[in-house]
Amino acid sequence: MVSLLCFHIPLFFLSFRLVSASHLANQSHLYDLVQPHAEVFPRKISRRSCSPSPPPLPSNCFPAVGFSTPSDVPASTDGWWCDPADEFGFLGFSYEITYCQSLAQLQTDFANMRKTFNSRYVRLYGACDNEGFYNDIITAAWNNSLGVHALVWCGFSNCNLMQPRFNALSSILHSNPMGPFVTRVVQMGTEPLFDDVITPQALTTQVNNAKQNLSDIGINVTVSELAYGYQERAGSQAVLNAIDSINAHMLPFFAGDATTGQNAWPDVMSDLQYFIDNGGGKKIYFDENGWPSTDQGIANIKPQSPTAVASVGNEQAYYRLLDQRCEFLKNVVGGGVGWFAHIYTDSQEPGYGIYTTSGTLKFPFAPRTNC
């Protein structure tokens, strides 16, 4: 740990040089997007310990590392959630629910996310329409002190299912007493603009209706989307204005100039800059975020760049890059960027898993939750 931290501080300066040298953001621009924060600059380092530990984060709020949900559901969510400004670094995993996992499987997976990786949230992906399924998500999340970014998914061809799926989710959130204590935000669609399954105007209406519907239980609403999804559809600013937080897809493997995971920073910065410039200072998450370990025989993993390399080493290198940039990401407007790893296992989305289909880790994975 100590030697790792020794390594991180010089890299932080390297990141400034890399970014300022690129065409994506000049140095004065970059400083604008970093909130003033003393810890941006290295503190005095003792030769013995090599590096100061970051100040501990509060652990008396949900779902802080170290916090355990009480046995009784509190009367109100006042003071329940951790401050978004303390939620940066690694937050947890994307997890696909299209398989309608059993409660026992959800318990096992959520417990592992929490205990093995210090996850604070799970970001749901896909959809399970079994009646009451979200009650099982709530039980497993509550029992493992894991917050949830829920998802109302339209599908790939149209958004006709958004309304009935939202209604089903809302009914559970309003009837299950633990629902508002584990569900931090509801994502209205995942790449609905990129997939062109709904207009920005109609999506804005859906977001505003959902916000109104969930306001009595204090649950926020967002859209899970690529920067490019917003950029390519006229009128998307209304969506960005309506959402409570920015749940950004960060998939630099698909950038036109992609090469390796380790060299992905300029592409990450470019999309992050778009959200900083157009996101009104809202909290930013990288929620569908990763780099594939293979593109062989996988229909939906086709890079645009001939030099983009999919490999286990590059998947690992991309997460290491984000881990090394923890101090930078922590200081981005909105309380710092918190990131999810997409996705928990190759069984859910081939090539992107942290685990293989046989349940082994592809590489050591222990990203920082504080810096």
Ligand X SMILES: *[C@@H]1O[C@H](CO)[C@@H](O)[C@H](O)[C@H]1NC(C)=O
Beta pairing partners, 340: 92
Considering the rule CB under 6 A, would residue 300 count as an interface residue with ligand X? no
For the beta carbon of residue 89, count every other beta carbon within 10 angstroms.
25
Q: Which of 107, 199, 311, 370 binds ligand X (CB under 6 A)?
A: 107
67 with 59: CB under 8 angstroms?
yes
What is the C-alpha to C-alpha distance for residues 241 and 238, in angstroms, rounded to an integer? Answer: 5
Q: Which of 8, 9, 22, 29 binds ligand X (CB under 6 A)?
A: 29
Q: How far is the CB of 167 from ligand X (least distance, A)?
A: 4
The count of chain residues that interact with ligand X, using the rule CB under 6 A, is: 17
Q: How far is the CB of 354 from ligand X (least distance, A)?
A: 19
Considering the rule CB under 6 A, would residue 280 count as an interface residue with ligand X? no
Considering the rule CB under 6 A, would residue 143 count as an interface residue with ligand X? yes
Structure letter (DSSP) for residue 59:
-
Phi, psi of 147 (to 5 degrees): -80, 160
Which one of 25-33, 63-71, 306-314, 315-323 is the stretch in contact with ligand X (CB under 6 A)? 25-33
Q: How far is the CB of 20 from ligand X (least distance, A)?
A: 10
Site residues (CB under 6 A) for ligand X, limited to 47-106: 81, 84
159 or 321, CB closer to ligand X?
A: 159
Helix or strand or coil: residue 241? helix
Q: How far is the CB of 220 from ligand X (least distance, A)?
A: 4
Q: Which of 102, 158, 171, 296 binds ligand X (CB under 6 A)?
A: 171
Q: Which helix (H) or strand (E) holds 184?
A: strand 183-190
Phi, psi of 340 (to 5 degrees): -105, 150
Helix or strand or coil: residue 203? helix
Instruction: Dump the DSSP string for 71-109.
Output: SS--S--TTTBPPGGG--EEEEEEEE-TT---HHHHHHH
**Binding pattern for the stretch 183-212 against ligand X, x by CB under 6 A and - elsewhere:** -x----------------------------
306 Cβ contact list (under 8 Å, min separation 6): none
167 or 296, CB closer to ligand X?
A: 167
Considering the rule CB under 6 A, would residue 155 count as an interface residue with ligand X? no
**Binding pattern for the stretch 232-261 against ligand X, x by CB under 6 A and - elsewhere:** ------------x-----------------
Considering the rule CB under 6 A, would residue 170 count as an interface residue with ligand X? yes
64 or 308, CB closer to ligand X?
A: 64
For residue 93, which of 295, 338, 327 has the smallest C-alpha distance? 338
23-31 long-range contacts (CB < 8 A, ≥24 apart) are: 24/266, 24/269, 24/270, 24/273, 25/269, 25/270, 25/273, 29/273
Q: How far is the CB of 27 from ligand X (least distance, A)?
A: 8
Radius of gyration of the chain (CA): 20
**Which residues would be at the binding site for ligand X (CB under 6 A)?**
26, 28-29, 81, 84, 107, 111, 143-144, 167, 170-171, 184, 213, 216, 220, 244
